[in-house]
Structure 1
Amino acid sequence: MEIKSILKILLILILSPLLCHSSEIELPSKYVERAAQGHTNNWAVLVDTSRFWFNYRHVANVLSIYRSVKRLGIPDSQIILMVAEDMACNPRNPRPATVFNNMNQQINVYGNDVEVDYRGYEVTVENFVRLLTGRNHNGTARSKKLLTDSGSNVLIYLTGHGGEGFLKFQDSEEITSQELADAIEQMWQKQRYHELFFMIDTCQAASMYEKFYSPNILAVASSLVGEDSLSHHVDPAIGVYIIDRYTYYALEFLEKVEPNSKKTMAEFLSVCPKRVCISTVGVRRDLYPKDPSSVPITNFFGSVRPIEMTNQVVNISMSSIPDEKESEIVEKIAKGVTYSDLKIKFPEQFPSNIFK
């Protein structure tokens, strides 16, 4: 191939975005329609709202769920982790840089690759609501944004101290069940989720989903209104309770789930009967149109999507390969005409005019 031809191809590739706003790849309509019918990506929002050493178990709770969803395929780029207290670096921790969720200390859930997005005093009601609704402050890092869309299945997990109709954040403020319901309705109105699984482990946890009124939500709570959510066991070496009962049995179930597992959401909803949880697990299904027994657990806790294999040719077209006008411009550039002659304006890299 001649050098001139190679230069033309390179110029087309470089200039196409500048010359045409519609040069996007178009999939055949049947693939687009199929994608629109189901979810296309998975996100998880995992929140520990408690500070102080005696709330060690709440940090272990959230890090354990984090470990499970990450193991099942949701990448860190699609997990928002909010941890109100850095237990791994707490001076009372006899084993620095570790957080365990059982007294045998078999699994360090803090691990070597934990990516905490909001920590310490960043874990506030305002930041949580802004995250869900997409109303982040200007300058918020991409890693701190919930970049979901109408094809996203979203898992929201909350743990901390709560009461009837509220969840405390850092013992200094609280979010009410109505405020949470309104934030989720904003998510739905702004097409920020396809289906949502709400999971909460606090005292009187079921009160937090009672006000929900948006569609496509499946919810589970560790305790009913009027009940406490209890801790599971103490690690004598650490000196505090290290995990809550509901999350302990939920994790026991999740540890047996693999990415290709056939286990369903209905099985997960019954993981902690009252004889082991002490409290009564609450479930809300009326806003969820599907039968949980037909929904794979990886629809929320993993990132596994059905793939259709085909041995036929799929024609993928571009809506605009450079037209005649664009081809003329490329020809002129190839002949040595400058950008200024073509009247192509490029944005100024540094706004020097503001100093004039």
Structure 2
Amino acid sequence: MLYRTLFAGAALINAVGAWTPPKEVEEAAKASHWAVLIAGSSGYGNYRHQADVCHAYQIMIKNGIDPDKIITLAVDDVANDDMNPFPGKLFNKPTGDGTPGTDVYAGCKIDYSGSMVTPETFVKVLTGDAAGLDGGKVLQSTKLDRVFVNFVDHGGVNIIGFPRTTMHARDLVAALTKMHSAGMYRELVFYLEACESGSMFTELPSDISVYATTAANAHESSWGTYCMPEDKVEGKHIGSCLGDLYSVTWMEDTDNQSPAAASETIETQTERVKRLVTKSHVQVFGDTTISSELITNFEGDTDSAGQLDTSLAPMIARAAPQRDAAIRSNDAALASAYFRFTEMGSAAAGEELVALVQARLSTRKTFEAVAQRLGLNGGIEALPPRAHGAQHVDCHYDVHKAYKSACGELHPEALSFSATMADLCAQQGGSPDAIVKAISAACAA
């Protein structure tokens, strides 16, 4: 690390005469690195999310972050699912016949699992609030520390998913702002994998030292990868996508830079991921000056100043390879259930498939009823498309809250209808009042 050289120089000078170390050297000696990793989904059809997060955990460990300063949230119901052909193991990449895969679940320490994977737990972890967590870990970072956050799950316009509920963009940005006000980091990098994830940071302030990238823009799906039929490990079908395209891309890039990753900056990694993720549009938000730092300042324990390695330009500019076995994230669980039912003979997967389709159709029926009460004779298909980006966030926040109150939680496989809420807000000129009334009436009928 850069500052180890400075410490060595300090020791030499000190041997000759009195020397006072620069303030930045003293601060570097006290600084720590923290990581918060979360897979917000549940179920075997979402295998990829927990595999992604355990892969991220392995990267943090390999690059030197203290395990006590890595906080991981995952339902942890996939590795030992009855459908898993490798009980107690997870893989984030396929291998050929006879070639063992890399088990990313081995040693992956999950701090909050099952019903503890909620927006409330996530916010408490981020803001250092240990109340009600039964002694569980929370960030204890300071204004000298760097924090890396990686969230992987389903999403929709202005929301990200959890097993039984959702989190609104307004609440996520509020948590990050609270962290900044409390002096909980020097800089924070946030990698977010979810459909329409570009909508989550449209209100992120640029002056709170947060750099965020997302798997997609505000109006498109992210993508699962290493999906059927390329979901094989040692010749066996897993029966679910092994990873997510954005997540796999940044992690494989980091893996390829190990052990030193001495010259790759956040900017370089972001540009690589943008070029290689061709099925969605990776977005950047927040304080872009952070992008000049090395990836291992956040995905590891270095404290070095970075510089864009221009020798990487040919790789950045090179056309991205297409992954044929990629599936839209909002359809990946459906595809998994269908494959396991038709190709692996699982009756349980057949029931799962029916339930997922019914949940999506039921949600659509509700929004058709809302549209009818708003006088849209053509239903939700008659709604004019929004302009690019997430608009009328205040209206969407109120409508989302009203829907949860009157109709219950959006099903995890129906989060795409959050875009319909945004479309309704646009159609109503940003006023939530008529929409809230229509939702209450539709769900009371």
- Tell me, yes or no, whether TM beats 0.5: yes
Distance in 2 (CA, whole Å) between partners of 1:176 and 1:155 is: 20
Identity of aligned residues (%): 27
Q: 1:120-143, CA deviations, whole angstroms, 9 ceiling, x for partnerless residues?
A: 1111111111111122215732x5
CA distance in 1: counterparts of 2:145 and 2:77, whole angstroms: 30
1:109 aligns with 2:104: yes
Where in structure 1 do 4 or more consecutive aligned residues deviate above 3 Å? 27-39, 273-277
The equivalent residue for 2:172 is: 180
Partners of 2:273 and 2:30 lie apart in 1 by 28
TM-score by length of 2: 0.58
Q: Which has the higher helix share?
A: 2
- Structure 1 stretches of 5 or more lacking a match? 1-26, 308-356
Q: Deviations over 1:170-221 (max 9, x none)?
A: 0x21111110111111101111111000110110111112121251111100
Evaluate the alpha carbon distance shift between residue 148 and residue 259 of structure 1 in structure 2; reply closer, same or farther with a 3 A threshold.
Answer: farther
Q: How does 1:198-209 map to 2 (within 5 A)?
A: 198-209=190-201
**After superposition, what is the alpha-carbon deviation per residue over 1:297-346, rounded to whole angstroms, capped at 9, x for unaligned?**
11111102359xxxxxxxxxxxxxxxxxxxxxxxxxxxxxxxxxxxxxxx
Question: 1:227 corresponds to which residue?
Answer: 220
Counterpart residue number, 1:83 = 74
Q: SS of the counterpart of 1:272?
A: helix
Q: Within 2, Cα distance between the matches of 1:280 and 1:188?
A: 28
Structure 2 equivalent of residue 45 of structure 1: 36
1:120 to 114, 129, 149: 114
C-alpha contact 2:124 2:138 (8 A) present in aligned 1: no
CA distance in 1, matches of 2:93, 2:24: 46
Task: Name the CA distance, whole Å, in 2 between partners of 1:181 and 1:97.
Answer: 35
| Alignment partner, residue 245 of structure 1 | 245
Paired with 2:112 and 2:289, the residues of 1 have a C-alpha distance of 33
2:293 counterpart residue number: 295
Contact 2:89–2:105 (CA under 8 A) maintained in structure 1: yes
Find out whether 1:217 has 2:178 as its counterpart.
Answer: no
Choose from 54, 59, 66 the match for 2:50: 59
Q: CA deviation at 1:264?
A: 0.9
Asked if the contact 2:147/2:188 (under 8 Å) is kept, the reply is yes
Check 1:275–1:116 CA distance in 2 against 1; reply closer, same or farther (3 A cut): closer
- Output the CA distance in 2 between the equivalents of 1:126 and 1:220: 23
Larger radius of gyration between Structure 1 and Structure 2: 1
Partner of 1:195: 187
Distance in 1 (CA, whole Å) between partners of 2:45 and 2:155 is 16
Per the alignment, do residues 41 and 259 of structure 1 end up closer, same or farther by CA in structure 2, a change over 3 Å counting?
farther
Decide whether the 8 Å contact of 1:59 with 1:85 is kept in 2. yes
Gaps of 5+ in 2: 1-17, 306-445
Q: 1:137 to 1:57 in 2, by over 3 A?
A: same
Q: Which has the higher contact order (CA 8 A, sep 6+)?
A: 1
Could you tell me whether the CA contact under 8 Å between 1:88 and 1:98 is conserved in 2? yes
Distance apart, 1:257 and its partner CA:
2.0
Distance in 2 of aligned mates of 1:31 and 1:94: 56
Please give the alpha-carbon distance, in whole angstroms, between the structure 2 residues aligned to 1:39 and 1:173. Answer: 38
Answer yes or no: is the 8 Å Cα contact 2:213–2:282 preserved in 1. yes
Q: 1:196 to 1:277 in 2, by over 3 A?
A: same
Show the counterpart of 1:304. Answer: 302
User: Are positions 1:146 and 2:135 aligned together?
Assistant: no
**CA distance in 2: counterparts of 1:90 and 1:75, whole angstroms:** 30
8 A contact 1:274–1:280 mirrored in 2: no
Matches of 1:276 and 1:199, distance apart in 2: 14
Give, as a single letter, the amino acid of the residue that structure 2 aligns with 1:215.
Answer: I
- How far 1:30 moved relative to its partner? 3.2
On the 8 A contact 2:43/2:77 being kept in 1, the answer is no
Partner of 1:283: 284
Name the Cα RMSD after superposition. 2.3
What TM-score, normalized to structure 1?
0.72
2-structure distance, mates of 1:295, 1:64: 22
Which residue is 1:314 aligned to? none
**Structure 2: how far apart are the matches of 1:123 and 1:139?**
11
The aligned length equals 275
Give the 3 Å change call, closer, same or farther, for CA 156–258 of structure 1 in structure 2.
Answer: same
Question: Secondary structure in 2 aligned to 1:305?
Answer: coil
